[in-house]
Structure 1
Amino acid sequence: MSLVLFLGIVALAWTRQWRTASIWSDYPVNADNVFVGLYILWLLVETPVAGRDADSEGKKTSDSATCLVYGTAQALTFLSALWFPSVWHSPNIAHFFGMGLFAAGGCCRLWAIRTLGKFYSHLVRTIPRHTIVDSGPYRFVRHPAYAGMLIANAGICIAFLNAVTLCIFLFALVPAILLRIRIEERVLFAIEGYSHFAQNRKRLFPGIW
């Protein structure tokens, strides 16, 4: 899926370049292209995780097919943002706020992935001697990687605002993430120490949920 997403992004970014080049003619760089570059960099950074997950194929997982739904919704959010015309007809603060939000969400997610190390996976599964990690962003919430994903994609919606992308984000990606958290926690609560870890931490955002 990562390869298909990469090729789709490149193709749509090329098409968008010709459709919206005039929007950025008064700026030193095309911010849409910068956004695409940041997204591709994000994909490349997470590629080793996907490769590690591939080694788990055939082993027992508890995904209930949510990995595919979640990944598809994530891909469609950005692909639709590149394809459908934005309500913004000229550069404004929303473009740069959205890009900043995307960068913040991506950094939060990568911080979480780095903190978990070998325990992080795109699949819902446990590994031998699985222990609870409560450092880094896990000091504040139980699922900072998902929080980062939501923040990053909210940034995409703001920067490339259109009805299709917003609907995919709200009605496909957000529900997919919430469902994965429910399924994931069925597995996590079976690990010794997770109940204590979860007592004083919200799932995604401190003081909210």
Structure 2
Amino acid sequence: MDISHSARAYLLFLGFIGVERLFELVLSARNARRALAAGGREVGQGHYRVMTLLHTAFLGSCVAEVLVLHRAFPGLLGWVALGGAVLAQFLRYWAISTLGERWNTRILFIPGARPVTSGPYRFVRHPNYVAVILEMVCIPLIHGGYLTALVFSVANAALLVVRIRAEEAALGAEYQRAFGARPRFIPGAAHEH
């Protein structure tokens, strides 16, 4: 199969994203052990499996759409999408570093722990989910994967409705007091329900 230079670069970028996700899973597992040892509790286990499958299928779909449907690099749109994907990585790691040992891919909470309101959490309730939303749109569009961007953005939106409800309910009244007036996703936006 003849693969263009831009497709090779894109596949290399996807490989980097895949390695990054594996690192995050290792970090998450370490943080989960620590949270559980400190009396933490987990909720949302049912949708976690769906989320894992969705994110794995997303990367596979990015590869498949470029190779099977022979998507070409879309020029300016591709560069803008790359910028959005890189921005999403910075936002993700700002959120991870702000939460420190409390960051996790699972919904784990330690009863009595005060909510983290610094870093990107000063502006929105869910900066990590903002990063995921950006990724679902931007990563496929880097190399013309508009079907992957559309399908997985819609699926991710449906998943986030369930996940955010479970997460915010688990974090309880103190979280609601700290974040009740803060928008979920867009800084400066009116209160999002």
Q: What is the TM-score of this pair, normalised by structure 2?
A: 0.81
Q: Of residues 102, 105, 111 in structure 2, which corresponds to 1:119?
A: 102
2:26 and 2:73 map into 1 onto residues whose CA distance is 37
Tell me the equivalent position of 2:57: 76
Percent identity between the two aligned chains: 27
Shift of the 64–36 alpha-carbon distance from structure 1 to 2, 3 Å rule, reads closer
- Alignment RMSD, CA only? 2.7
How far the C-alpha of 1:42 sits from its partner, in A, is: 2.2
1:78 and 1:167 map into 2 onto residues whose CA distance is 14
How far the C-alpha of 1:176 sits from its partner, in A, is: 1.0
CA contact (8 A) 2:85 2:139 kept: yes
| Partner amino acid, structure 2, of 1:205 | I
2:87 and 2:112 map into 1 onto residues whose CA distance is 32
Tell me the equivalent position of 1:12: none
Q: Which runs of 5+ in 1 are unaligned?
A: 1-17
How far the C-alpha of 1:36 sits from its partner, in A, is: 2.1
SS state of the match for residue 42, structure 2?
coil
How far the C-alpha of 1:32 sits from its partner, in A, is: 0.9
Q: What is the TM-score of this pair, normalised by structure 1?
A: 0.75
Answering whether residue 128 of structure 2 is matched by residue 107 of structure 1, we say no
CA contact (8 A) 1:111 1:136 kept: yes
Answering whether residue 155 of structure 2 is matched by residue 172 of structure 1, we say yes
Q: Of residues 184, 187, 203 in structure 1, which corresponds to 2:167?
A: 184
1:91 and 1:161 map into 2 onto residues whose CA distance is 6
| Partner amino acid, structure 2, of 1:47 | L
CA contact (8 A) 1:78 1:165 kept: no
| Partner amino acid, structure 2, of 1:185 | E
2:154 and 2:73 map into 1 onto residues whose CA distance is 27
Q: Of residues 133, 138, 159 in structure 1, which corresponds to 2:116?
A: 133
CA contact (8 A) 2:85 2:134 kept: yes
How far the C-alpha of 1:135 sits from its partner, in A, is: 0.6
SS state of the match for residue 43, structure 2?
coil
CA contact (8 A) 1:87 1:161 kept: no
CA contact (8 A) 1:35 1:99 kept: no
Shift of the 38–176 alpha-carbon distance from structure 1 to 2, 3 Å rule, reads same
